[in-house]
């Protein structure tokens, strides 16, 4: 495990390396981010960004999504995989947002995880990106891999336990951007196939690189 000082150094180095830590999913409205994250499950953000412009043009309002035929939505999202479930969840989610939340995306973990297809990972991303809630930690595959390699957690695969561990080590106002930076670093340097330690900005405080 890293010391508190090492953890903060990892945060600092990633901030310096990736000053723009925006979510890579493209959206205009809050609910569009929610639907895009649902489509991104077991799919790349790049693929989702190719699909959503036509999807959001065909269904330009939350009301149009709520009234949509699920089979028609499926045609737009088929290339994202698991399209039957994803299309069904999107339409049902739109209906619930209108019926229970006045068309607004909820701003609490408790309400978000009640929505179809929404788990803690999606809820944390929404809380962090839309509502800027301190302490939001989005644990995806990059986060799991890099947190273990860097030594922020030790052999931990449970997303909830990793979320808790990172929240204890990272300043709450930095957690959301930190997890976005882990995604960027995981794609560019610390890849699943092989970590390129020789060009890593945190190698001097990384458990894997120093081990």
* Active site (catalytic) residues: 121, 140
Is the sign of the CA dihedral 149, 153, 155, 160 positive or negative?
negative
- Cβ(106)–Cβ(144) below 8 Å: no
H-type alpha helices, 102-201: 109-112, 120-129, 141-150, 159-169, 175-188
Q: Which H helix or E strand runs over 191? A: none
* Residues recorded for the chain: 211
DSSP 20: -
H-type alpha helices, the chain: 4-17, 30-39, 45-58, 62-66, 70-77, 83-101, 109-112, 120-129, 141-150, 159-169, 175-188, 207-210
Residues 6+ apart with CB under 8 A from 190: 145, 146, 149, 196, 200
Phi, psi torsion values for 195, nearest 5 degrees: -80, 130
């Amino acid at each position: 495990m890293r010391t508190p000082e090492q953890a903060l150094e990892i945060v600092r180095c990633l901030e310096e390396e990736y000053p723009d830590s925006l979510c890579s999913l493209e959206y205009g409205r809050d609910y569009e981010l929610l639907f895009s994250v649902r489509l991104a499950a077991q799919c790349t953000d790049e693929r989702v960004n190719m699909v959503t412009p036509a999807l959001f043009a065909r269904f330009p309002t939350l009301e149009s999504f709520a009234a949509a035929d699920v089979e028609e939505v499926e045609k737009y999202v088929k290339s994202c995989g698991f399209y039957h479930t994803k299309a069904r969840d999107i339409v049902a989610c739109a209906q619930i947002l209108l019926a229970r939340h006045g068309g607004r995306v909820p701003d609490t973990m408790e309400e978000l995880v009640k929505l179809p297809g929404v788990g803690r990972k999606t809820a944390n991303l929404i809380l962090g990106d839309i509502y800027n809630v301190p302490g939001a930690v989005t644990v995806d595959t990059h986060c799991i891999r890099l947190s273990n390699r860097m030594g922020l957690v030790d052999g931990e695969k449970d997303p909830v336990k990793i979320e808790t561990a990172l929240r204890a080590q990272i300043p709450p106002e930095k957690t959301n951007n930190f997890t976005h930076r882990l995604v960027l670093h995981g794609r560019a340097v610390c890849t699943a196939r092989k970590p390129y330690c020789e060009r890593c900005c945190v190698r001097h405080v990384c458990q894997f690189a120093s081990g």
